[in-house]
Amino acid sequence: MFKRLLLVGLSLTLLMTMVACALTHSEPTSSQPSADGPALTVATLNQLDAWPAYAVLQKGQTQGYDLDYGLKSYQTGIKLVEDGALGKWQIGDVGAVPALLGVLNRHLTIVGVAAEESDANWLLAKAGHPVLEGKTGDLAGTAETVRGKTIYVTQASSGHALAHAYLSHLGLTEADVNLKYGSPKECLRVLGDGTADLVALWAPYTYQAEKIAGGVEQVAKGSDLGIHQYMLYVADTSWAAHNKEVLVAFLADVSREAAGIDEVANKDLLAFFKDYADTSLSQDQLATDRKTHRLLSLEDQLALIDSGHLAQGMDEVARFFTQINRFADRNYEELAEQNFGIDDSYLKAAQALHQLDK
């Protein structure tokens, strides 16, 4: 079961390690011995929710840790999680879908929520494509127009979960279409050259699709299908346990920056995208990104956890993996029993630290 996932997304060595760790309940190992000091590498995707960590680094006003190792940018979450298992970073900001693989492996713990991004994941087609004829509910496309068509997604990504939810909405499964895996850049290419009928992408790649495809139509976004898609702060489980003060200070700093995102000038965010994501956005695209990537304050994150909404979102991800035969029932049950790896103790400590600073 897991070998199939590996062949299309992960290395064989990593996946077999993940399976062995999950099924034998072995203890995780630290990616950075605490004796090495509080210098950090923080891994993120190249999108808006990386701004808080980027801003902290630019200001150089961290307390209790050092970002000398800096930020490490990734195109895909699955590669980020893979590198986490290899000890290449200590704190990550990654989507819930790949994060859950690290939780199952027990090398990652969910310690916070960077953003709610259900509206930032889009299923796209070229404007006027026949696949969009007819409607099912409020969404374009029907089982007849979509069956047998080629859909490109990035393996084990929020886009993959979006495409799966759309097919379920039509009464279809992945077996009813020609599902292909590719990086976001590959998805853009096949949308442009017509190889793909539909592609699933997330911002800022969604903004590049219009130019590459010569006009696109948004078929669905996460909120249209009732799925909850989050960007999560994760940490190496053993490292976090041995470096709680460092992690707490980091969460307090980035959460403070997230809470102030509405006050950040557009020119600063445009410069951030150009510098960190190598992406040029228009003012209109930036306005869309501000609306669709909702960064969360400490209070927002704790409310999301306390209400059970974060666990609900993670349950959706675990069921998605089960439905596409990537998780066995025992994997789902194990994750549910451990509340999907969510540990709010670090956020609560960060909140207390924030109150002391007032």
Q: pLDDT band at 358, cuts 50/70/90?
A: low
Q: Which residues pair with 153 in a beta bridge?
A: 181
CATH number for the domain running over 2-117+229-357: 3.40.190.10
**Mean pLDDT for the stretch of residues 86-102:** 97
Q: In CATH, which superfamily holds the domain spanning 121-225?
A: Periplasmic binding protein-like II (3.40.190.10)
Q: How confident is the model at residue 63 (pLDDT cuts 50, 70, 90)?
A: confident
Cα-based distances in Å from 31 to 19, 238, 242: 19, 8, 11
Q: Give residue-wise pLDDT tens across range 308-320.
A: 999 999 999 999 9
User: What tokens were used for 288?
Assistant: 């869309």
- 2-117+229-357 and 121-225 have identical folds: yes
Given pLDDT bands bounded at 50, 70 and 90, which one contains residue 140?
very high
Give the whole-angstrom CA distance, residue 294 versus residue 283.
17
| Half-sphere exposure in the Cβ direction for 95 (13 Å, CA) | 32
Task: Using only the alpha carbons of the chain, give its radius of gyration.
Answer: 20
Looking at residue 356, what is its pLDDT?
61
pLDDT digits (tens, 9 = 90+) for 153-212: 999 999 999 999 999 999 999 999 999 999 999 999 999 999 999 999 999 999 999 889
What average pLDDT score do residues 80-104 get?
96
21/139 Cα distance (integer angstroms) = 41
Which of 17-26, 35-44, 248-257, 274-283 is least confident? Answer: 17-26
Which pLDDT band holds residue 66 (cuts at 50, 70, 90)? Answer: confident
The region, left, alpha or beta by phi > 0 then psi within -120 to 50, assigned to residue 352 is: alpha
Q: Kindly report the pTM of this predicted structure.
A: 0.88
For residue 52, say if its preceding peptide bond is cis, omega within 30 degrees of 0.
no
Nearest CA to 46 among 205, 194, 197? 205
The domain locations on the chain are 2-117+229-357, 121-225
Percent of the chain at pLDDT exceeding 90: 81
Query: What is the number of helices (H) and of strands (E) in the chain?
Result: 17, 13
Query: What are the phi and psi torsion angles at 228 (to 5°)?
Result: -105, 120
According to the model, what pLDDT value does residue 23 have? 32
